Amino acid sequence: MRNLLHNGKADLPSANIEYRAEQHWVIYVLPIFYVVVGIVGILPAIFGIGALRLVGYGLLFLLFKGCKRVLEIQKTKIFLSSTHLCIQQGILSITLNDIALEKLEGIQLNQSLIGKYLNYGTLYVSTGELSQNYQIKDPFTLRSKILKK
């Protein structure tokens, strides 16, 4: 099967992309917190002695973990075409999941009280072999478009 996204760009004539889901800004909060706390660990990791240096290394780990997660969030794209749900992920390498809408076994939407207020939620999509979840902006629109197919 040919991927709906070719070389990272939408192949619009053949894919007929009808909707692009956006990830919500709320999912950046924890990774950015990791980055800020990790920056504090730079000086102890370089100039610290003993236990202080170990704490600095731990904080540097949080810095790298936060930076990696921010990049992952930015590089994730979710598209809906007339026949497929396409999810593109990856920083250095790209993973494309083209999920045929007729093979979807279940769609679950979870929206907390804060999610209702800020208009985001977690959409769980599952097939027999694949299960994905994403915190997206305006999840009811994507869900309704998937169910209309």
Domain boundary assignment for the chain: 19-24+78-148, 28-71
> Which residue is associated with the tokens 């950015």?
32
DSSP character for 27?
G
Q: What is the tens place of the pLDDT at every residue in 110-148?
A: 999 999 999 999 988 888 777 888 889 999 998 888 888
Torsion sign over Cα 2, 109, 75, 131 = negative
CATH number of 19-24+78-148: 2.30.29
Torsion sign over Cα 35, 116, 110, 134 = negative
The count of C-alpha atoms lying within 13 angstroms of the C-alpha of 40, restricted to the half-sphere facing its C-beta, is 10
What pLDDT was estimated at residue 15?
A: 57
CA-only gyration radius of the chain, Å: 19
d(CA 32, CA 83): 36
3-state secondary structure of 32: helix
User: Identity (one letter) of the amino acid at 127?
Assistant: T
3-state secondary structure of 91: coil
Q: What is the tens place of the pLDDT at every residue in 38-87?
A: 999 999 999 988 999 999 999 999 999 999 999 999 999 999 988 888 88
What's the whole-model pTM score? 0.77
The pLDDT mean for the chain works out to 86
**What Å distances lie between residue 74 and 78, 119, 120, CA to CA?**
11, 19, 17
